[in-house]
Amino acid sequence: MAMLFGLAACAAEKASNSPTPSTTAPEDSPEQQPETITINFFSNLPDRTAGQGLLEQTILDNYMKENPHITIKVEALQDEPYKQKFQSYVASNNLPDIFNVWGQPSFFQAVMEKGYAAELNPDDYKDYGFFEGSTTDFSYNGKLYGLPRNQDMTTVFINKAIFNDNNVKIPTTYNELVNAAKAFRAKGIQPLSINGRDKWILNLFFQDLVIKVSGNQRTIYDASTGKTSFASDPDIRKAAELFKGLVDAGLFQDSFTSADYGAAQNLFLQEQAAMFYMGAWEVGMASNPDNSEHFRQNVALIPFPTVEGGKGKITDVCAWNGGGYAVSASSPVKDEAIKLLNYMMHPDNWPKIGWQQGLVVPGQNYKEYMTGKENVLQVQLTDILNTATSMSGTPWNDFNPGDWKANVENLIQEFAAGITTVDEFLEALDNVVPK
């Protein structure tokens, strides 16, 4: 169900076609108030009390306080329902004024190509501190159509207490990860929680394995574009075998292919799983007061483990700039919507508030906003990003437009569920590569 948020307007605004006030009007004549404007805001952050959703709503509330003639109505859905509703809006050519986008070809390219997103002025953001290359996937034919929110990166969140209490070594290699899975299973503990029902997270996990085996960020993309083959590339085949080995070792929680995002995360938050594989956008777990103090004191993160005999380093990471915002090209309040977007992403808002409240790792330079009071996850993620020797860019399942995303996500889920073999999985991937 969609969640709607908004505040009633406090004042009325002057219409653009209102007659110019007479120069002979009395000096004490009351000044006409601005016309009331409603901006419809479509978000993929339904939890407005924590994390990115709290940050988003805080900034929107601040904007309405500073601009009392503006009402912002928020419709917020989880990722998968959001994508379905987004397609409905596109089909009816009725996109909300501002909407969330994923800056990858599988989602945003067609939106830009077909003119659904309003063009933005890059000069407006020259002092916003966006990291180099962060707006690339939000651009098309040299024009800018969206802005990224965060620096996204996959990581393994861990509960130190569960490891310590059970004398299990925190894994830094694949074999240690397998051993940890077996040790936790022997004690009746779920080793690692993952939202396999959502599929895309399984693609990211597989990509992390390919990176650690091959040591080459291009390996999985070359196969995705037909330059090489999934079935014949020895590093991709090895990664697939290792993935199956982790499933067989019981690394993922029971019924993981039917667990959605909320169920997987709750298992970790309730300290019923030792690890949680997810993105950097969950740094707010360490500062969210709704989480138990014991959890907040023991949550930490580790880089994705290396593979024995692999060519990838611990510092080769799966990282990209994913979620962000765009404005509808057909919005009746397009100019006002762009003003709101610019306000949201101003350095004093999204990056500063988000970082200092421990809610996000921004896609903009946040060095000047560091206070020394950062939560442990912020510090650890910053260390990983600062020492990274390579970053992947757009996840492989989002790399091609069209049906690619749906196809490869279905295939990885079937493979994870044991429905297909290594050979069948890799051959099926080759069969859906765009020709």
Give the CATH number, domain containing residue 344: 3.40.190.10
- Which residue(s) pair with 300 in the sheet? 158
**Whole-number CA gyration radius for the chain:** 23
**Any domain includes 378:** no
Top-confidence residue, 409 or 18: 409
Q: What is the pLDDT of residue 106?
A: 86
Are the C-beta atoms of residues 37 and 15 closer than 8 Å to each other? no
Same domain, 276 and 404: yes
**Any domain includes 377:** no
Same domain, 286 and 271: yes
Is residue 24 over pLDDT 60? no
**Any domain includes 352:** yes
**pLDDT band at 26, cuts 50/70/90?**
very low
What string of DSSP letters covers 34-94? PPPEEEEEEES---TTSHHHHHHHHHHHHHHHH-TTEEEEEEE--HHHHHHHHHHHHHTT-
Same domain, 233 and 333: no
**Any domain includes 27:** no
Q: Which of these ranges, 18-32, 53-67, 137-151, 295-309, has the smallest mean pLDDT?
A: 18-32
**Any domain includes 17:** no
Q: What is the pLDDT of residues 76-106, one digit of tens each?
A: 999 889 999 999 999 999 999 999 999 888 8
Mean per-residue pLDDT for 391-406? 93
Same domain, 110 and 180: no
**pLDDT band at 30, cuts 50/70/90?**
low
Is residue 13 over pLDDT 50? no
Same domain, 313 and 364: no
Same domain, 78 and 211: no
The domain containing residue 326 runs over which residues?
Answer: 3-9+36-151+322-370
**pLDDT band at 434, cuts 50/70/90?**
very high
Q: How far is CA 150 from the centre of its chain?
A: 7
**What does pTM read for this prediction?**
0.83
> How far is the C-alpha of 217 from the C-alpha of 226, rounded, in Å?
16
**Any domain includes 15:** no
Q: What is the pLDDT of residues 314-366, one digit of tens each?
A: 999 999 988 999 999 999 999 999 999 999 999 999 999 999 999 989 999 99
Cα three-residue angle 3-102-143, rounded to 5 degrees: 125
- Angle, nearest 10°, between helix axes 234-248 and 174-186? 10
Is residue 112 over pLDDT 80? yes
Per cent of the chain over pLDDT 70 is: 93
Mean per-residue pLDDT for 23-47? 77
> How far is the C-alpha of 160 from the C-alpha of 296, rounded, in Å?
10
**Any domain includes 22:** no
Same domain, 137 and 194: no
> How far is the C-alpha of 279 from the C-alpha of 260, rounded, in Å?
15
Is residue 16 over pLDDT 50? no
Same domain, 208 and 285: yes
- Which residue(s) pair with 159 in the sheet? 299
> How far is the C-alpha of 4 from the C-alpha of 77, rounded, in Å?
10
Same domain, 144 and 161: no
**Any domain includes 25:** no
Q: What is each CA distance from 114 to 44, 67, 145, 327, in whole angstroms?
A: 22, 32, 12, 14
In one letter, which amino acid is 435?
Answer: K
Same domain, 156 and 146: no
Is residue 31 over pLDDT 80? no
Is residue 236 over pLDDT 80? yes
Same domain, 302 and 337: no
> How far is the C-alpha of 150 from the C-alpha of 35, rounded, in Å?
34
Same domain, 82 and 142: yes
If one counts the domains in the chain, the total is: 2
